[in-house]
């Protein structure tokens, strides 16, 4: 079978397998791609790594959320490319190259869910799975002009999936139509435990200052106005209650330590030729002491408590998803690293707390998409999706 979007460098080069799926259901007639860190029966699971791919056997089981979509009628067409060991935000795998950004062809898709977001942004398929550890749903969605939710940590199971940093890893997905996004959300999330309306908009000046320049701030303003119009109120600017640099280092150290614990043994045994950036991040994780990790965990707990107090049951923190639009495909390694570090300072709050964050494609800067995010209380995933539907339709 010839897959749609075969010229996008987004599919893994695996033989097509006709994976059983239901004939009827809420996703009947929808096509699906599965990020290549999740198992799909009949396919190998390559983790974006040639060394892993050389070892991988054909899987006989399917990741549970993917199986739920198959049981709801979605038809899987194959596995989507991802960043090497899913430890990058760029969308440029050193071994397999760059998938194409359908919204800004001269720019990166973002990673690590690069193939998934490429297929959706180019209209090749209907649904693609992703995962978000440091921003790998939110960043690519912002770069490619799509809705993207980082779910409440642990709300959707991540069984039969390559672990990177388990206390941060979250299941995610992409669609072109926000109505399809809501349908998948209803299937996988169930109902929110609380039905308290998210009605109180909050902002923090320290987060706004992380946008790269005046063009980004000018683009963010009308997007913010659109959100405020939906809520019927202006956002209230408040102090976060914790230091951005403390949050940044807590996130980096938790992620790097856990990534080393998850994959460091495999790396030491297999000795893969890791690409630039990816190797540096795993080396950093290997250098960390248990004391450094424990300090990061303690800081994380404090940040989570303060963010929880700030949001309460009805608060929504409004912030830029990332500092700007996607970097150009020609970006240097050094400039991409600088962008990544700035982006983590925006992306880390949802990751550290485990609270859900949704990015909406409401702004454009430098002729490319630029997302605005809403971060809600723990377990408010469905309510955030409902807000997205109401704003976007």
The CA distance from 333 to 103, in Å, is 22
- Whether 358 and 384 have beta carbons less than 8 Å apart is answered as yes
Q: What digits encode the pLDDT tens for the residues 90-110?
A: 999 999 999 999 999 999 999
* Same-domain check for residues 108 and 151: yes
* Same-domain check for residues 224 and 133: no
Q: What digits encode the pLDDT tens for the residues 159-211?
A: 999 999 999 999 999 999 999 999 999 999 999 999 999 999 999 999 999 99
Tokens of residue 136, six digits: 């790998």
Q: What is the pLDDT of residue 202?
A: 98
* Same-domain check for residues 99 and 227: no
Domain count, the chain: 2
The CA distance from 194 to 171, in Å, is 21
pTM: 0.98
Domain that holds residue 363: 200-244+289-392
* Same-domain check for residues 153 and 297: no
Let me know if 245 is exposed, middle or buried by CB neighbors in 10 A (0-12, 13-18, 19+): exposed
* pLDDT at 1 > cutoff 90: no
3-state class (DSSP) for residue 249: helix
* Same-domain check for residues 212 and 158: no
Tokens of residue 144, six digits: 């490619």
The CA distance from 305 to 266, in Å, is 35
Average confidence score pLDDT of the chain: 98
Measured CA to CA in angstroms, residue 311 lies from 40, 54, 187, 191, 200 at distances of 38, 47, 26, 20, 8
- Whether 47 and 4 have beta carbons less than 8 Å apart is answered as no
* Same-domain check for residues 173 and 230: no
Percent of the chain with pLDDT over 70: 100
Residue 265, domain member (yes or no): no
* Same-domain check for residues 56 and 148: yes
Q: The CATH number of the domain where 333 resides is what?
A: 3.90.1300.10
Q: Taking residues 129-142, report their average pLDDT.
A: 98
Token match 């460091």: residue? Answer: 264
* Same-domain check for residues 167 and 79: yes
Contacts of 297 (CB under 8 A, 6+ apart): 250, 254
* Same-domain check for residues 99 and 135: yes
* Same-domain check for residues 78 and 109: yes
Residue 19, domain member (yes or no): no
Largest CA distance in the chain: 57
Residue 17, domain member (yes or no): no
* Same-domain check for residues 214 and 323: yes
* pLDDT at 363 > cutoff 90: yes
Q: What is the pLDDT of residue 393?
A: 86
Token match 């990816």: residue? Answer: 278
Q: Taking residues 4-28, report their average pLDDT.
A: 98
- Whether 374 and 384 have beta carbons less than 8 Å apart is answered as yes
The CA distance from 270 to 262, in Å, is 14
Domain boundary among 125, 154, 189: 189
* pLDDT at 319 > cutoff 90: yes
Q: What digits encode the pLDDT tens for the residues 232-274?
A: 999 999 999 999 999 999 999 999 999 999 999 999 999 999 9
* Same-domain check for residues 205 and 175: no
Residue 260, domain member (yes or no): no
Nearest-CA neighbor of 374 among 354, 388, 353, 363?
A: 388
């Amino acid at each position: 079978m010839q897959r749609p979007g075969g010229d996008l460098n987004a599919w893994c080069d695996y033989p097509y397998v006709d994976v059983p799926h239901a004939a009827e259901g809420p996703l009947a007639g929808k096509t699906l791609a599965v990020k290549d860190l999740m198992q799909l029966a009949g396919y190998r699971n390559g983790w974006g790594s040639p060394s892993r791919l050389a070892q991988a056997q054909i899987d006989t089981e399917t990741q549970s959320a993917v199986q739920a979509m198959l049981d709801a009628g979605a038809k899987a067409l194959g596995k989507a490319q991802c960043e090497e060991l899913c430890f990058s935000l760029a969308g440029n795998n050193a071994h397999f190259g760059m998938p194409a950004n359908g919204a800004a062809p001269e720019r990166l898709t973002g990673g690590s869910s690069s193939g998934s977001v490429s297929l959706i942004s180019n209209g090749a398929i209907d649904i693609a799975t992703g995962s978000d550890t440091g921003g790998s749903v939110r960043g690519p969605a912002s770069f490619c002009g799509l809705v993207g939710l980082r779910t409440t940590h642990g709300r959707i199971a991540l069984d039969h999936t390559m672990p990177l940093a388990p206390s941060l890893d979250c299941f995610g997905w992409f669609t072109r139509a926000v109505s399809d996004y809501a349908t998948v959300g209803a299937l996988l999330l169930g109902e929110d435990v609380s039905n308290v309306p998210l009605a109180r908009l909050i902002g923090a000046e320290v987060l706004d200052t992380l946008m790269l320049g005046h063009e980004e701030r000018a683009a963010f303003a009308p997007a913010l106005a659109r959100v405020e119009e939906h809520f019927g109120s202006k956002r209230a600017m408040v102090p976060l209650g914790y230091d951005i640099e403390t949050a940044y280092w807590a996130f980096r150290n938790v992620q790097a330590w856990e990534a080393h614990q998850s994959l460091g043994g495999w790396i030491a045994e297999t000795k893969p030729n890791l690409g630039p950036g990816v190797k540096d991040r795993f080396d950093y994780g290997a250098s960390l002491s248990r004391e450094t990790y424990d300090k990061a965990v303690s800081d994380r707990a404090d940040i989570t408590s303060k963010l929880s107090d700030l949001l309460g049951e009805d608060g929504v923190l409004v912030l830029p998803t990332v500092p700007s639009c996607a970097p150009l495909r020609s970006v240097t390694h050094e400039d991409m690293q600088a962008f990544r570090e700035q982006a983590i300072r925006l992306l880390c709050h949802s990751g550290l707390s485990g609270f859900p964050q949704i990015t909406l494609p409401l702004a454009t800067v430098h002729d490319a998409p630029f997302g605005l995010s809403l971060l809600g209380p723990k377990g408010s995933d469905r309510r955030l999706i409902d807000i997205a539907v109401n704003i976007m339709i």
